[in-house]
Structure 1
């Protein structure tokens, strides 16, 4: 069983915490199959920018960064920039809630071993994200 914790370190008051937890658990159940803990930290662009510089040597803000702290039992942290998620939601014409769900799924897929370094890997991850979003919408 995976325990999911969500921490809001952003200025955004409304977060779909229950749905985000369901999304992570759905992915973990099918893709990870380990016990452990996944923490989702909703943060600002400036905070995720600092993480990106300090840990990945990238000098820009991004939407999501995932760290696997331990593998067995799994301990993972998923950082999501609420600022970038909000902008992406506007760009994609989707609700902010749906973008947070997609990024939660995306981060969990990284913990399951999925990569997005190439266009083919990105395509596969997008297909998986769509699959899990659809499952959530259908209540499965």
Structure 2
């Protein structure tokens, strides 16, 4: 099950379209969804979580708390609405497109993709681009 929770967030999804897209990505990666919660929230909430759990004192667009086991995906993905909006403006893309990039990025982390090295980041970006294109083809 995938759920969407909006905490002080103005960005609201077409949940049915996004659910189909995310489920297809997981299926294509050969994994199974157990329970994933996307929480769209504020910079301050994501910063507080980043400090508390990762001991990082900086803003970030996404935090993924992965509880997956045996390719059964479970966890919480916190997304900062402000960071998504800022990233969209910086990269000159629509907010919805940037939100989808961040959403798939968190899901890819749950599925085992890393972004610690240049090579890992290249692979992560390729997968993000692939699944973003898939969203537009399916619609």
Q: Give the TM-score normalised by the residue count of structure 1.
A: 0.90
Q: How many residues align?
A: 138
SS of equivalent residue, structure 2 residue 65: strand
The partner residue of 1:26 within 16, 24, 27 is 24
Change (3 A) 1:80 1:20: farther
CA RMSD of aligned residues (A): 1.7
1:37: which partner in 2?
35
Look up the match of 1:66: 64
Structure 1 segments (4+ residues) deviating >4 Å: none
Q: Matches of 1:77 and 1:24 in 2, distance apart?
A: 14
The alpha carbon displacement at 1:137 in A equals 0.7
Three-state SS of the structure 1 residue aligned to 2:29 is helix
Q: Which has the higher contact order (CA 8 A, sep 6+)?
A: 1
Q: State the distance in 1 between where 2:84 and 2:33 align.
A: 28
Q: Give the SS at the match of 1:62.
A: coil
Normalised to the residue count of structure 2, the TM-score between the two structures is 0.90
Whole-angstrom CA distance in 2 between matches of 1:20 and 1:119:
29
- Conserved in 1, the CA contact under 8 Å of 2:73 and 2:111? no
